[in-house]
Structure 1
Amino acid sequence: MSDRPTFVYVTFIQATPEQVWHALTDADVTAQYWAEHSNVSDWQVGSAWEHPRTDGSGIVDLVGTVLEAAPPRKLMITRTGPNEERPDGPGQVTFDIEPHGDIVRLTVTHENLADHDEHVSVSAGWPSVLANLKSLLETGHVLSQGPWEMYAEMRAARMARNDPR
């Protein structure tokens, strides 16, 4: 990895490592907490994974390769746009699942981000997705509204004020 931006997010979930692993790797479950996408792969090292829309359009917004799969403790993938060529290679996402009693510490590390804009984007995206994942595993339901909607509204307000953060 180069000296590109990195994003790290840690959350604690009332679940077993096996439940978290299943939620990260089962396409039907991912479709619930990613809202408009799912994650599809056989999750074997070297296999491709895709992040297709669930609207039936067949559009795949992200692709990558499974770099490491050690159920139920660690999953590492590359992540990039389907036709994106990045001089420093694709982004890399690692999911570390650490049990502690009857809870799990889930750490998501997204490395080799292309630039500041991608860092801003994933800094809003990952917390939203992981909040939905946590809610789903702990209550059986995702949040009543998409957390990313709040970010989109805040971003629109900032842009209206000419504040590009």
Structure 2
Amino acid sequence: MTNDRFVYVTYIRTTPEKLWDALQKPEFTRIYWFGAILESEWTKGASWKMVLPDQRIADEGEIIEIEKPKRIVIKWRSEFSPELKAEGYSVCTIELEPTPESVKLTVVHEIDKPASKLIQSVSGGWPKILSSLKSMLETGEALGGQSPCSHE
């Protein structure tokens, strides 16, 4: 398969269970995703979407694979712009691996389209999102000063 891919690896001082919750629960995602909420039943075959604060759907897809608290694979299509939507579905794989003092988080976002504009877009977005997630879990405050307690 020829593809374009983005890979990001970080280590977060937390537990796999806390990171798993932060990846899925709206009360957390809206904080480190800068207002966006990820909606899904989080089961294999379930629909998945990212809803922006103004209620527009930025991305949508389906849960292809899920193994708590280790791995999520999402069939993912951008709805944000016609140009990105036209590229079709990508696959985003999120893996959690416990280490002695942290959790190794690996995100691989790929599409079978060389020079993908979607991958170019997510390559700018994922580092900011995942840095915000890491800050939230390690300090209690996401980038931009938002904390889970201030939004409950």
Q: Same fold (TM over 0.5)?
A: yes
Give the number of the structure with larger relative contact order, counting CA–CA contacts within 8 Å between residues 6 or more apart: 2
SS of residue in 2 equivalent to 1:51: strand
Q: Residue 80 of structure 1 aligns to a residue in which SS? A: strand
Instruction: Kindly provide the CA deviation profile for residues 17-60 of structure 1, in whole angstroms up to 9, marking residues without a partner as x.
Output: 00111011111210000003111111010000110012xx3211
Alignment of 1:130-149 (within 5 A): 130-144=130-144
Give % identity: 34
Asked if the contact 1:113/1:119 (under 8 Å) is kept, the reply is no
CA 113–19 in structure 1, closer or farther in 2 if over 3 Å, else same = farther
Say whether residues 1:105 and 2:100 are aligned partners: no
Q: Once the 2 structures are TM-superposed, how far is the Cα of residue 118 of structure 1 from its aligned partner?
A: 2.4
Does 1:81 pair with 2:78? yes
User: Following TM superposition, where does structure 1 have runs of at least 4 consecutive aligned residues deviating by more than 2 angstroms?
Assistant: 81-86, 113-120
Where does structure 1 lack aligned partners over 5 or more consecutive residues? 147-165
> Could you tell me how far 1:65 is from its partner in structure 2?
0.2
Instruction: List per-residue Cα deviations over 1:137-163 (Å, max 9, x = no partner).
Output: 0011012379xxxxxxxxxxxxxxxxx
* CA distance in 1 between partners of 2:136 and 2:91 (Å): 25
**Residue of structure 2 aligned with 1:63, choices 52, 57, 60:** 60
- How far residue 4 of structure 1 moved from its aligned partner, in angstroms, is 1.7
RMSD: 1.9
Correspondence list, 1:41-52, <5 A: 41-52=40-51
**Structure 2, unaligned runs of 5 or more:** 147-152
Whether 2:118 is the aligned partner of 1:118: answer yes
Pairwise CA distance, 1:116: 3.8
Q: Report the structure number with the largest CA radius of gyration.
A: 1
Q: In the alignment, which residue of structure 2 is the partner of 1:39?
A: 38
Q: How many Å apart are 1:85 and its aligned residue?
A: 4.8
Aligned to 1:91: 90
Q: Which amino acid aligns with 1:45?
A: K
Higher strand share: 2
